[in-house]
Chains A and B, each alone.
Chain A
Amino acid sequence: MPDWLIIRTFWELTVTGLALGSIYALVALGYTLVYGVLRLINFAHSEIFMVGTFGALLASSQFLSIPLLEDGNYPYRTGMTLIIFLVFIMLIAMLFSGIGAVVLERVAYRPLRGNGDAFGAIVLAFLTAFIVSLVFVDQAKINVIIALLATAPISYAYMRFFKQGRKAPRLAFLISAIGASTAISEAVGVWSKHGRDQYQTPRLLEKKTLFTMFGTDVRIDYAIVIVGALLMMTALTLFVNKTRLGRGVRAVAQDAETSRILGVNVDLIIIVTFALGGVMAGGAAMLFTLVYDQTRFNIGFILGVKSFTAAVLGGIGNLKGALLGGLLLGLVENYGSAIFGGQWKDVIAFVVLLVVLMFRPTGLLGESLGKARV
């Protein structure tokens, strides 16, 4: 065997690649679910992930008030405390992302489907008033008061407009998605406590070696990420395949109009779809902070692009495709950077995507959320 870097470090690259790939896969599920049901590429999903990392940060540093350092060392926890804390942080992150995704759907997409409701109108009205007020004053408190006062009349106007039930063209959804993405990340960049700086999340889990495989130490955090991601994906697949709501998701993915006629509450199913994607992104966010201990207002950007790539690679709209695409992308990136050098990491990922799409235009496993073989 030749003495190449990739061969010498193959197993180590595999472990780290699988860990990052698992996170890609979890985020990719959000893209895939929404695409499967709405044929919409939800570009703001990357920010839902970012919101999840901040949820994890708040959960650990505020709700559990864990400091970044205790006596100059990491605030390690052990045993049951550790497990309870990690589960709690994950639930909060999922809650943040899940709520974020649902609000996003109601505000940024539903009105475009000609189906806007009071909730979307009120949030949109508040945002409109807030942003317009920024032109005149720049004191957060006064802006909020002005925005609250103006919310009622503006939301009334929006409701009148929504009632016409006009459907926007497909392109409008894309613009709305990109706009929402920028708005969410900039809002965190401008108004969060440390603005655009990097945030550190407390490290609870001591990164010990769990076991050694093929001469490579497998760290406990990587193991948790890979196993955790697989468990979450199994749960999601079971939900989509076995439950009543899951059947609704598949039905709407297949044919929204027919499902509506047959009595499926399409709007509810869409909310469920966004919530599922959000919860998966929240889980991914918590696992991400577990390994990297950090977040930023734009943390979702690169990761979002990669996850979307993973979804397309595996076949967008296909749950198993998201898993396959995510893991494959994580591995290819790592192997590729060992062969060509770290600065080629992203190039390699996209070259692989292009090559796959040339031979399999619908991705490795094809689009299939709506098909029988979910």
Chain B
Amino acid sequence: MKKSVLRVGASMLVLSLVGVACGGSDDSSADACEGNSKIAFFGALTGEAGNLGINIKKGLDLAVAQHNEANPDAQIDVEAYDSQGDPDQAPALADKAIADACVKGIVGPAFSGESAAVNAKFEEAGLPLITPSATNPDLSKNGWDVFHRALAGDDKQGPGAASRIVADGKMKVGVIDDNSEYGKGLADIVQTSLGDKAVELNSLDPEAADYSAVITAAKDAGVDAVFFGGYYAAAGKLAKQMADAGVTAQFYSGDGTLDVGFIEAAGPAAEGAILTCTCAPKDSNPEFLKAFQDANKGEDPATYAAEAYDAASVFLAAMKDGKTSRGDILKFINSYDAAGVTKQLNWDEAGEVTGSAVYAYEIKDGAIKGIGLIK
């Protein structure tokens, strides 16, 4: 028995050594890309919040397609790493992206949880990233040089959402989150901003089917509004079950909920929900809107598509400028300062973009309608 354990252990050791050796050879070929340079999408294309990643990928695809049309002799490819938004699946994919010498930049990681799990890897590898959507404020506090985000973080969104809730005259706001890096982070900020108007209703499990426990607590507290920090699938279930349970509180949520998936999951219960986002409304840049519609059979750009387009265009500008190595591209981004379709794109030391607009959206007649800037 003991012998076989030893044998297994020894063979595993050999295997891991081989693995290390292979990893080593990958590193040395970091600048030996054969073929077209790539910009990688990193985030969920499937799973609980896959729609948000699909939006991002469409924005990225559009930017790259425009570049490729204008520069036939310098084609760029898009590589997609579908993490399903799962922090457990992300590290292996990050290793894969890092090992591919042709990947020069990452648009993503899309969500905060996976960002916290893998950004240190990208930092170590010097692979520059611009996330169009990960808004957890702590992400920019790690001293990662490669980290940039194309929209303001939840330290801006949270107070914005809270001021909207207060402006709507709500006195008692139940705050619920999905226990994710993003959801809990945002909910905590909203709760702090609301001060004594907030009632903490704890977390729910986004994968669970039944939210009656948290809804019973909301009912008992007699809230006149509920803020949910989390993604659209869970938000939809929550809004629906709240309505079923006879809770009439106004439903508020953040950018993770800003997707038609929310309306599909909540059905008629989605009507009137107010969602905030630091992302720009689809019609904020008519030129981009038209280009996107033309490229996607008339479909409107959804949440984060414009931010992803901006993120991609910064990488493309770097490549057009003749930067080929990851290090040069990173330097280029750090000193970049030009107008994008959503905002002026330039980053501070921490990787936060200047400009911190928070927009409000409302679900009306089964569709998402922008209802303007907050503050």
Q: Find out whether the CB atom of B366 lies under 8 angstroms from the CB atom of A72.
A: yes
- Interface 1/0 per residue, B357-369 and A, CB below 8 Å: 0000000011000
Residues of B within 8 A of A217 (CB): 246
Q: Find out whether the CB atom of A69 lies under 8 angstroms from the CB atom of B265.
A: no
Residue from A5, A16, A346 within 8 A of B210 (CB atoms): A16
Distance in angstroms from A204 CB to nearest chain B CB is: 13
A258 lies within 8 A of chain B by Cβ: no
Residues of B within 8 A of A346 (CB): 205
Distance in angstroms from B208 CB to nearest chain A CB is: 6
Query: Interface size on B (CB < 8 Å)?
Result: 36
- Interface 1/0 per residue, A319-344 and B, CB below 8 Å: 00000000000000110011001110
Contact (A338, B217) CB under 8 Å given A16-B210, A343-B202: yes
What separation, in Å, do the CA atoms of A200 and B214 have in the docked complex?
Answer: 22
Q: Find out whether the CB atom of A200 lies under 8 angstroms from the CB atom of B246.
A: no
Residues of A within 8 A of B46 (CB): 195-197
Contact (A13, B179) CB under 8 Å given A196-B84, A207-B244: no
Chain B residue at minimal CB-CB distance from A217 = B246
Residues of A within 8 A of B219 (CB): 9, 12
Residues of A within 8 A of B220 (CB): 5, 8-9
Give the segment of A120-128, A129-137, A292-300 that binds chain B: A292-300
Contact (A219, B202) CB under 8 Å given A16-B210, A197-B50, A292-B210: no
Distance in angstroms from B179 CB to nearest chain A CB is: 6
B264 lies within 8 A of chain A by Cβ: yes
Residues of A within 8 A of B209 (CB): 288, 292, 294, 299, 302-303
Contact (A342, B204) CB under 8 Å given A196-B47, A197-B50, A198-B265: yes
Distance in angstroms from A136 CB to nearest chain B CB is: 22
B240 lies within 8 A of chain A by Cβ: yes
Distance in angstroms from A212 CB to nearest chain B CB is: 12
Chain B residue at minimal CB-CB distance from A337 = B213
Residue from B210, B268, B365 within 8 A of A74 (CB atoms): B268
B267 lies within 8 A of chain A by Cβ: yes
Contact (A343, B203) CB under 8 Å given A16-B210, A217-B246: yes
Number of A-B contacts (CB under 8 A): 97
Q: Find out whether the CB atom of B50 lies under 8 angstroms from the CB atom of A68.
A: no
Q: Find out whether the CB atom of B265 lies under 8 angstroms from the CB atom of A294.
A: yes
A73 lies within 8 A of chain B by Cβ: yes
What separation, in Å, do the CA atoms of A359 and B112 have in the docked complex?
Answer: 44
Q: Find out whether the CB atom of B217 lies under 8 angstroms from the CB atom of A9.
A: yes
Residues of A within 8 A of B261 (CB): 197-198
Residues of B within 8 A of A113 (CB): none
B216 lies within 8 A of chain A by Cβ: yes
A203 lies within 8 A of chain B by Cβ: yes
Q: Find out whether the CB atom of B268 lies under 8 angstroms from the CB atom of A72.
A: yes
What separation, in Å, do the CA atoms of A13 and B216 have in the docked complex?
Answer: 7
Residues of B within 8 A of A247 (CB): none
B233 lies within 8 A of chain A by Cβ: yes
B172 lies within 8 A of chain A by Cβ: no
A253 lies within 8 A of chain B by Cβ: no
What separation, in Å, do the CA atoms of A132 and B47 have in the docked complex?
Answer: 26
Contact (A342, B265) CB under 8 Å given A72-B366, A196-B50: no
A20 lies within 8 A of chain B by Cβ: yes
Contact (A342, B213) CB under 8 Å given A196-B47, A196-B84: yes
A residues adjacent to B (C-beta < 8 A): 5, 8-9, 12-13, 16, 20, 68-69, 72-74, 195-198, 200, 203, 207, 217, 219, 288, 291-294, 298-299, 301-303, 333-334, 337-338, 341-343, 345-346
21 contacts between A and B (CB under 8 A): A5-B220, A13-B213, A68-B264, A69-B267, A74-B267, A195-B46, A196-B84, A197-B46, A197-B233, A198-B48, A198-B265, A288-B209, A291-B210, A292-B209, A294-B265, A302-B208, A334-B213, A334-B216, A337-B213, A341-B202, A342-B201
B residues adjacent to A (C-beta < 8 A): 46-48, 50, 84, 179, 201-205, 207-210, 212-214, 216-217, 219-220, 233, 236-237, 240-241, 244, 246, 261, 264-265, 267-268, 365-366
With A74-B267, A207-B244 already in contact, 6 other A-B pairs whose C-beta atoms are closer than 8 Å: A9-B220, A13-B213, A292-B209, A292-B241, A342-B201, A343-B205
